[in-house]
Amino acid sequence: MTTIENGENGSGTRELAGKRALVTGGSRGIGAAVVRQLLDAGAEVLTTARSAAGTAPEGAIFVEADVRTRAGAQALAAAAREVLGGVDILVHNAGGARPHEGVLAIPDEEWQDALDLNFLASVRLDSLLVPGMRERRSGKIVHISSAAVLTPVGPFLHYTTAKAALENYSRGLAVELAPSGIRVNTVSPGRVATPGGEATREQWAEVAARMDAGPGETNADDTTPLGRDGQPDDIAHAVLFLVSDRASWLTGSKLVVDGGEFPRG
Cα 253 from chain centroid? 15
Helix (H, G, I), strand (E, B) or coil at 139: strand
Helix (H, G, I), strand (E, B) or coil at 48: strand
Whole-angstrom Cα distance, residue 13 to residue 54? 27
β-pairing, 61-64 vs 2-3, is: antiparallel
Spot the catalytic one: 62, 119, 156, 159: 159
Whole-angstrom Cα distance, residue 174 to residue 182? 8
Provide CB contacts within 8 A for 57, sequence distance 6+: 9, 26, 32, 35, 36, 39, 47
Whole-angstrom Cα distance, residue 256 to residue 167? 12
Whole-angstrom Cα distance, residue 134 to residue 70? 21
Tell me, yes or no, if 169 is annotated catalytic.
no
Q: Where are the alpha helices (DSSP H) in the chain?
A: 29-40, 70-84, 108-115, 121-136, 157-177, 195-210, 215-218, 232-243
Q: Please say whether the beta carbons of 35 and 16 come within 8 A.
A: no
8-state DSSP, 150: G
Provide CB contacts within 8 A for 223, sequence distance 6+: none
Provide CB contacts within 8 A for 44, sequence distance 6+: 6, 19, 20, 21, 61, 84
Q: Which residues are catalytic?
A: 159
